[in-house]
Amino acid sequence: PSAMMAAWSEGEVSMDVDPAPPIAPGSALQVNVRWPSASGGRGARVELYADLKMALPVRIAAAELQTNDPAKGSLITFEIPRDAPAVFDGAQLSLRYRIRVLIDRPMRSDLAAERNVVIG
C-alpha cells in the first residue's frame, strides 16, 4: 500500500518521497527519512532496492548516515537509472522497488524499516 504514496509512516518511522510515485526512470528521487528514536549504533544507511521474483535483491543506490541523522530527519537523493524497468507483476515474474532504512547496532540485531515505491 505504500508504493503509490508520497507520505508514508509506520509506527514512528516515516519515509516520504518527492516527487510522488510513480517515479520516472532517469529522474531524481528525494527521500525524507524521520526515525525519532534512532540513536546509538555504528551508523545508518538508506538504500534503494530492486526485487525481482525468484532472484536475489539488487541494491541500486545507498547513502551512509550518522546514526542520529534519521532522528533529526534526513533528506537523501537517489538518481533512478534511465534504464530502470517499470514495476510489473506477471504470471511468473514480478519486479518491485523498495526503500530501506537500516540502523547498524553493534552486538545487537540491526533495526530496519522498509517501504515500497513505484518506478516506471
Average pLDDT over residues 3-32: 95
Average pLDDT, the chain: 92
In the predicted structure, residue 1 carries a pLDDT above the cut 80: no
Say how many residues make up the chain: 120
Average pLDDT over residues 79-99: 93
Whole-angstrom distance, CA of residue 81 vs CA of residue 25: 6
Give the predicted TM-score (pTM) of the model. Answer: 0.91
Strands (DSSP E) found in 2-107? 9-10, 13-18, 28-34, 43-52, 58-65, 74-79, 88-89, 94-104
Q: In the structure, what pLDDT confidence band is assigned to residue 109 with cuts at 50, 70 and 90?
A: confident
Query: According to the model, what pLDDT value does residue 86 have?
Result: 94
pLDDT digits (tens, 9 = 90+) for 46-87: 999 999 998 999 999 999 998 888 888 999 999 999 999 999
pLDDT digits (tens, 9 = 90+) for 18-49: 999 999 999 999 999 999 988 777 889 999 99
Query: Would you tell me how many other CB atoms lie within 10 Å of the CB of residue 12?
Result: 12
Query: According to the model, what pLDDT value does residue 33 have?
Result: 95
